[in-house]
Amino acid sequence: MRSGSILEKVLADGKFAVTAELGPPKGADPQVIIDKANILKGHVDAVNITDNQTAIARMCSMAAAKIAIDQGLEPIMQMTCRDRNRLAMQADILGAAALGIKNLLCLTGDHQSFGNHPEALGVFDLDSITLIKMVKDMRDVPQFQCGEEITFAPKLLIGAAANPYADPFPFRAVRLAKKVEAGIDFCQTQIIYNLEKFEEFMRQCVELGVTERCKILAGVAPLKSAGMAKYMKNRVAGMDVPDEVVERMAAAEDAQSEGIDVCVEVINRVRDIEGVAGVHIMAVEWESAVPEILSRAGLRAGSGS
Amino acid sequence: MEHELADSINRSSARPITGDAQLRAPCEVACPIHTRAQRYIQLVAEGKYDQALAVVRETNPLPQSIGRICAHPCEESCRRGRVDEPIAICNLKRVASDGAKATGLGYDPPAVEFTSGRKVAIIGSGPSGLAAAHDLALMGVQPVIFEKQPAAGGFLRTGILNYRLPKNILDEDIDYIRGMGVEIRTATSVGDDISFDELASEYDAVLIAVGLSESRSLPIPGVDLPQVLLAVPFLEDVNAGRDIPQLGKEIIVIGGGNVAIDVARSAKRISGGKVTMVCLEADHEMPAHDWEIADARTEGIEMVCSQGPNAIVGDGKVEGLQVKKCQSVFDVNGRFAPTFCETELSVVPGDTVIITIGQMSNLSFLTKTGPDVNERGILIFDRDLCTTSRRGVFASGEVVTGPGAAVNALASGKRAAIAVARYLGVDANFGHEPVAIGEVPADVREQIKQAPRRKMPARGTDERLTDFGEVETGLGEVDGRCEASRCLLCGSGARYSQLKCVSCLTCVRVCPYGAPWADKDGFGGIDPDKCQACGICFTQCPVKAIDLTVMSETDIEQEIVVAMATESPDMEFGCWYSQSRVAPEAAFVALPCTSRLSVRLLLNALEAGAEKVFVAVCSEDDDGRFVHGHRQTRAAVEEARKLLEEAGLDPEKIELKFVPEKKCMKEA
Amino acid sequence: MIAAERKPFEQIKLVTDQFENILVVGCNTCVAVCLTGGEKEAEQLAAELRLQRRNDGIGGSVETVTVLRQCENEFVDSIAADVEGKDLVLSMACSIGPQLIAERHPAVRVAPAMNTNMLAVVQKHHVWSEYCVACGDCGIFNTGGICPIARCAKQLLNGPCGGSQGGHCEISAEVPCVWQLIYEKLATFGLEGNLSRIGGPKNWSKSNSGGPRTMKKEGFEP
């Protein structure tokens, strides 16, 4: 075992993994995390703790992850390159491992201009791929990025994100392969609505051997409204929401229910795609939807069914 | 009258040069025929005497003669004169012709074809007539010279003594011109043997270049005494080797000009007695050249200055010259108007008087059909077009310019040649007067290394007074090349292109002499007065906005190609002035200093095929010939070696070496 | 000016060795003024490459051409005839040059011969110092006309830090502490007290950190 995490075991056992997302609060109150953790606990194998998501300053992912651990929920700590240089990142990686965090998701991070501190300096000392390589070397060699030896290696399952809908499309699977080469154990994709394109992406991943070395969790999310569907279609970079989804949401009497229906349908479809090892449910600020989605999809933590 | 005429000398121009705004070296500008002295000096420095002589010949049809007797106004203007002493430009002309003669090169006259089908009669074979004939021949016009004396040369033959200009030297110069197909009919007097009108009808044009062949006399008592001689016949007799029985042992020469000096020195040699010169002018005003006066004094000739001749005393034979005190020679306008103190009289004792106060022309051959003379018997003449009042008749030389130096007569003759050629429909232009660069500014002068002028060796006084053999023996090779190395290369340095300049200020920062400048708008230039032609700015200019006027980048590139066409696999970049080589077997590319070698030129030498490139420097200090010159050379070599090394080539392919023996720019 | 310097020859050679006919393109503006990439340097590098390639038995040609500025479409377009038939263009401009050449001459491979270092002043002949990082939001009036963003190793707005000693920066005795200079400069106007006000934080959104920038002058389009 590389990390000894539950997620690693679920994936290693070939069970269909389920992860969700937990956004830390814009404040110092641990109770927010405790409450969200309690909603998700028992339903998912692990939960992503976001890192200043969309460049909005929040409680740090490491502290939030530690609180989640204390609640009996396994965290996937997210780490972006936007806000720290390699010194800070390595320090945080060592600290996270010391606190019992066992999964690390390596991201470049959204540009600071999207968030609430657009005047901030973007660090981007590393990018996601160089970060992955650094973490892998810290775990497996073990050494710091500079080449100096680490006496007590951080045991972390290394993850990354992948977006099948970004351009140029033929390069997306290749880029994921680069992340695999750099050292990831698993990845979570962008939210899937366009299944045809995702299927093609997965076919390429299989062809490239990515799926043999990396577990791919398909990203899914329940739409809350027709407006959200339109917004995600038109305004969020890297999203692909097909027209029929937008139309379905618009036509629905109960949009939230329809959104969950769509999400469940997507989950059921991706489960049949070769190489998909699980789902990652991004119910942003709608954590309560997760148990319902899972139950309607017939999934639960470590269920593998 | 003489002085009025003399004014025109300054306006006469000679060399048919094309329009060129480039500032010239002052020596070239001061030279009445604009000889490219700097160029021949450089070739002398390199020991390329035949090429140096060829440069002299570009403008000068009498190189050997003028190289001995020239009044060299070039040296007066030489900018080195303000640093220490002027370059011995005249002496170096002789080094060129002597050196070429020793190699047997440079004395074959060019084959000339008289393509125009036109013929010109030239009356007089003095320097002006010879120059006109020479240039006309080159322009395809056939000249025929008429000379009443038995031998050609005019005053150069009859007026200048052998000890200054040996007759065989003059003969060689004239033979060269004859060799070009110029016919000289000696002992043929126009007026006696052939009439002027005949000449005018037989030839397409006539040039009157008869000079000033008659001596002026003085309207004073005693002038009819038998021991009173006139300069021109005296000199003619001396030059012809005839006895002069009237000459005694205590000789008074009246006059203070260059001819008077020649007369005095000749009299000294013949008589072996005492010779005294008496002149109106004060010591410092004497019209003769300083060096002539000094030579005369060396030979024991005395000068009695500020005295005017009042009467020649003696009963039946000369016993002395009564003189009166001269208070001033010139009026406030600088005109010749002597004033005397009639009461302050004295007598200079002597048994012979030779009057040397000036000359005049003999135009008795002219007829009523013209050309016209004015009321004072002077030819009416257009200075610019060299024309007289009669169509097809031109004039040049002292007959129209008044007395002057031989080189001025050459200039006049050369201008007349162009005028005649144009009249005859031959394509020729008068050319533009070149413009000289200015003085070396004081701050730059201090940065220039001092190097004393090489003295012209001369025979000892005792020995030389025994005969009319040549007094000056020539600088010789080593001293000649050393002397040439003193040249400041005026106006040959940095040439700047505003168009290419990006105002990087590099030149401003690297020039040791402060020559480049730039203003806030990036407009700039390089002050030619300050530029010493070291080439440092050229090597460092990043955009090739600077090149060098002489030995430009293209010139050096061509020299590299030429050098690589030789057998030798190696190349040496060295200095024009070096008389020794660091790699005697290598093909040689000579520069004013290796300071103008850019890194690229060094690489180009290897590209051109050199196995090994040697770069010579003449001293271990930073400078060499120029301030920081060797620092630049060293930096370029180091950089080039670095580039070779990083490119995987042996850096030893370029090597800096010291010249084994530095001979130039040193104390004699 | 933009200060750039030539890459180590070893790096250049790695690229050029793969190509047969090469055009070295000089730039006669910034890199000419900083004496690293103008016409003369281009010719020099070409000569060096020719010697190296002859020595290493590599065929082909190395030619040069220089334009006034490689950051202008028109100048870059003007070398079309020189680029024709070349396998590689080696640009001696700042990194703008190779990018624009590649953009305007899409058929040819382009490589940089230079590393672009900084916006610099000429301290003295052959010495350049960084004075500006093009942050897009100049605030040097408050710092005595001295830029701490470009010239402080930590880009402090409230220096000097505890590492300032004897007028130099903690990173090197060669580097002056710019905050010491700022302090002294303001003191000459009796304004050192201004430094008790808290400076910053810096608005980085106008810098390259805010994303690639485009500058426009509106209203005078041809």
Two structure tokens written together for C32: 């000419």
The closest alpha carbon to B426, from B120, B197, B210, B123, belongs to B120
Count of domains for chain B:
4
Q: Please check whether residue B455 lies inside any domain of the structure.
A: no
Which of the residue ranges A35-39, B565-569, B618-622, C43-47 would you say has the lowest mean pLDDT? B618-622
Q: What is the pLDDT of residues B613-628, one digit of tens each?
A: 999 998 888 888 899 9
What's the complex ipTM? 0.90
pLDDT in tens, B62-119: 999 999 999 999 999 999 999 999 999 999 999 999 999 999 999 999 999 999 999 9
CB-based contact B484:B475 (threshold 8 Å) = no
Are residue B94 and residue B131 in the same domain, yes or no? yes
Domain stop point among B329, B359, B389: B359
What is the spatial distance between Cα B35 and Cα B56, in angstroms, rounded to a whole number?
Answer: 6
Domain containing B115 equals 2-213+361-423
Contacts of residue B504 in chain C, CB cutoff 8 Å?
Answer: 32-33, 35
Both B411 and B353 in one domain: the answer is: no
Q: Which residues make Cβ contacts (< 8 Å) with residue C145, sequence separation at least 6?
A: C185
Asked if B600 and C50 come within 8 Å (Cβ–Cβ), the reply is no
Handedness of CA B277, B280, B281, B282 (dihedral sign): positive
Could you report the per-residue pLDDT of A222-231, keeping only the tens digit for each? 999 999 999 9
Q: What is the pLDDT of residue B572?
A: 96
Q: Does B257 share its domain with B204?
A: no
Return the percentage of chain B with pLDDT > 90, whole number.
Answer: 71
Most A CBs within 10 Å, among C157, C203, C206, C209, to test the A interface: C209
The per-residue DSSP string of B534-578 comes to --HHHHH-TTS-EEESSS-HHHHHHHHHHHHTSS-SEEEEEETT-
**Is residue B389, in this structure, part of any structural domain at all?**
yes
**Chains B, A in contact, 3 or more Cβ pairs below 8 Å:** no
Residue A279 lies in a domain: yes
B359 vs A76: CA distance, rounded Å = 120
Burial class (CB in 10 A: 0-12, 13-18, 19+), B245: exposed
pLDDT tens digits for range B196-218: 999 999 999 999 999 998 999 99
pLDDT, position B375:
84
Contact B465, B299 (CB under 8 A): yes
Flag if A122 and C204 touch (Cβ within 8 Å): yes
Instruction: Report yes or no: B598 at the C interface, CB cutoff 8 Å.
Output: yes
CA distances from B175 to B161, B167, B182, B347, C29 (A): 19, 12, 9, 48, 61
Query: Comparing C-alpha atoms, which of B71, B84, B79, B82 is closest to residue B31?
Result: B71
* Chain B partners within 8 Å of C28 (Cβ): 500, 502, 542-543
pLDDT, tens only, A120-130: 999 999 999 99
Examine residue B442 and state whether it is found in any structural domain, yes or no: no
First-to-last CA distance in chain B? 46
Model confidence at B11: pLDDT above 50 = no
What is the reported pLDDT for B459?
84
Residue B350 tokens read as 């002597």
Q: In which band, very low, low, confident or very high, does the pLDDT at B664 lie, cut at 50, 70 and 90?
A: confident
Q: Which single residue is written with the structure tokens 């070429």?
A: B100
pLDDT single digits (tens) B516-563: 999 988 889 999 999 999 999 999 999 999 999 999 999 999 999 999
pLDDT for position A258: 95
- Is residue B668 included in any domain, yes or no? no
CB-CB neighbors (< 8 A) of A120 in chain C: 204-205
Indicate yes or no: pTM above 0.90: no
Q: Inform me whether the pLDDT recorded for B18 exceeds 50.
A: no
Lowest average pLDDT, out of A25-29, B25-29, B252-256, B478-482, goes to B478-482
* Residue A85 lies in domain: 6-297
What CATH number does the domain containing A30 carry? 3.20.20.220
Amino acid C219: pLDDT: 86
What does the pLDDT average to over B430-440? 90
Co-location of B169 and B228 in the same domain:
no
Is C50 or B375 the better-scoring residue by pLDDT?
C50
Task: Give yes or no for residue B3 having a pLDDT over 70.
Answer: no
Buried b (16+ CB within 10 A) or exposed e, B275-286: bbbbbbbeeeeb
Q: Which residues contact B115 (CB under 8 A, 6 or more apart)?
A: B140
Does B146 reside within a domain?
yes
What does DSSP assign to residue A47?
E
Average pLDDT of chain B, as a whole number: 90
Asked whether the beta carbons of B258 and B277 are under 8 A apart, the reply is: no
Inter-residue contact B511 to B537 (CB < 8 Å): yes
pLDDT band at B159 (very low <50, low <70, confident <90, very high): confident
Q: How many other CB atoms are found less than 10 A from the CB of residue B109?
A: 16
Q: What is the distance between the alpha carbons of residues A277 and A98, in angstroms, rounded to a whole number?
A: 28
Q: pLDDT band for position B478 (50/70/90)?
A: confident
Numbered residues of chain C with Cβ closer than 8 Å to any chain A Cβ: 201-205, 207, 209-211
Backbone angles phi, psi at A22, to 5 degrees: -135, 115
Higher-scoring residue by pLDDT: B666, A63: A63
Nearest CA in chain C to A114: C210
Best residue of B543, B606, B654 to probe chain C, by most C CBs closer than 10 Å: B543
If asked whether residues B541 and B608 sit together in one domain, one would say no
pLDDT digits (tens, 9 = 90+) for A195-210: 999 999 999 999 999 9
Amino acid at A252: A
By CB neighbour count within 10 A (0-12 exposed, 13-18 middle, 19+ buried), where does B12 fall? buried
User: What pLDDT score was predicted for residue B470?
Assistant: 86
Whichever domain contains B130, its CATH number is 3.50.50.60
Residues B342 and B225 in one domain: yes
Q: Using the 3D structure, point to which of B484, B517, B548 is the last residue of a domain.
A: B548
- Lowest mean per-residue pLDDT among A87-91, A146-150, C115-119, C200-204: C200-204
What CATH number is given for C2-117 in this structure? 3.40.50.2300
The reported pLDDT for the residue numbered B240 is 85
**Nearest CA distance, A290 vs chain C (angstrom):** 36
Please tell me which of the candidates B506, B543, B603 has its beta carbon nearest to residue C51.
B603
Angle, CA B510 vertex, CA B505 and CA B513 arms, to 5°: 110
Q: What is the mean pLDDT of residues A141-168?
A: 96
- Between CA B247 and CA B273 the distance in angstroms is 10
A11-15, B47-51, B220-224, C117-121: which range is least confident on average? B220-224
Q: Are residues B562 and B538 in the same domain?
A: no
pLDDT in tens, chain C (222 residues): 999 999 999 999 999 999 999 999 999 999 999 999 999 999 999 999 999 999 999 999 999 999 999 999 999 999 999 999 999 999 999 999 999 999 999 999 999 999 999 999 999 999 999 999 999 999 999 999 999 999 999 999 998 988 888 999 999 999 999 999 999 999 999 999 998 888 888 999 999 999 999 999 888 877
B223 and B179 co-located in one domain: no
Provide the token pair at B43. Answer: 């070739």
- C31 vs C7: CA distance, rounded Å: 13
Q: What is the pLDDT of residue A136?
A: 98
Q: Which helix (H) or strand (E) holds B202?
A: helix B196-202
User: What Cα–Cα distance (Å) separates residue B169 from each residue in A11, A235, B63, B98, B111?
Assistant: 113, 102, 10, 10, 22
pLDDT mean over A145-167: 96
pLDDT given at position B666: 63
Q: Which residues of B touch C43 (CB under 8 A)?
A: 600
The DSSP element (H or E) to which A88 belongs, if any, is helix A86-98
Which residue type, as a one-letter code, is found at position B101?
K
A237-279, pLDDT tens digit by residue? 888 999 999 999 999 999 999 999 999 999 999 999 999 999 9
What's CA B347's distance to the chain center, in Å? 40
Q: Which amino acid is at B386?
A: C
Q: Give C95→chain B minimum CA distance, Å.
A: 19
DSSP for B217-279 reads ---STTTTSTTEEEHHHHHHHHHHT---TT--SEEEEE--SHHHHHHHHHHHHHH-SEEEEE-
User: Domain for residue A1, yes or no?
Assistant: no
Which pLDDT value is given to residue B667? Answer: 54
B465 belongs to a structural domain = no
Q: Determine if the peptide bond prior to C201 is cis (ω within 30°).
A: yes
Whether residue B568 sits in one domain with residue B510: no
Does an H or E element contain C81, and which?
helix C80-83
Pairing label, strands B302-304, B274-278: parallel
**What's residue B652's pLDDT?**
97
Task: List, in sequence order, the alpha helices (H) in B614-653.
Answer: 629-646
Gap between the Cα atoms of C179 and A225, Å rounded: 55
Whether A121 and C203 lie within 8 Å, measured CB to CB: no
Q: Are A111 and C211 inside 8 Å of each other by CB?
A: yes
> What are the respective helix, strand and coil percentages of chain C, to the nearest 5?
35, 25, 40
> Given a cut of 70, is residue B5 above it in pLDDT?
no
Give chain A's domain count: 1
Say whether pLDDT at B668 is over 70: no
Q: Which of these three, B504, B525, B548, is where a domain ends?
A: B548
| Tokens (6 digits) for C18 | 């793969």
The tokens for B415 are 């201008």
Mean model confidence pLDDT for chain A: 94
Q: Which residue has the higher pLDDT, A276 or B665?
A: A276
d(CA B27, CA B29): 5
Residue A144 C-alpha, separation from nearest chain C C-alpha, in angstroms: 23
CA dihedral of residues B329, B333, B337, B339 (deg, nearest 10):
-60
Same domain, residue pair B402 and B331: no
Contacts of B604 in chain C (CB under 8 A): 47
Tell the residue number behind the tokens 């890192």, with chain if given.
Answer: A51
> Distances from the Cα of A292 to the Cαs of A40, A133, A189, A259, B408, in angstroms?
11, 37, 21, 12, 119
Q: Name which residue leads in pLDDT, B655 or B329.
A: B655
Q: Tell me whether residue A303 is in a domain.
A: no
Ranges A139-143, B12-16, B309-313, C161-165: which has the least confidence: B12-16
Q: How would you classify the pairing of strands A157-162 and A186-191?
A: parallel
Kind plus residue range of the DSSP H or E element containing A157: strand A157-162
Amino acid at B332: V
Asked if C205 lies within 8 A of A118 by C-beta distance, the reply is: yes
Continuous segment of H or E residues that includes residue B587: strand B587-591
pLDDT of residue B665: 67
Per-residue confidence band for B468, with pLDDT thresholds at 50, 70 and 90: confident
Chain B positions in Cβ-Cβ contact with residue C50 (cut-off 8 Å): 607
d(CA B347, CA B320): 6
| B504/C35 CB distance under 8 A | yes
Compute the Cα dihedral for A25, A30, A31, A34 and give only its sign: positive
Contacting residues of C for A122, CB less than 8 Å apart: 204, 209
Is the C-alpha dihedral spanning A84, A85, A87, A92 positive or negative? positive
* Across A29-34, average pLDDT: 96
Please indicate, yes or no, if residue A304 is contained in any of the structural domains: no
pLDDT at position A90 is 98
Q: In whole angstroms, what is the distance from residue B412 CA to residue A46 CA?
A: 111
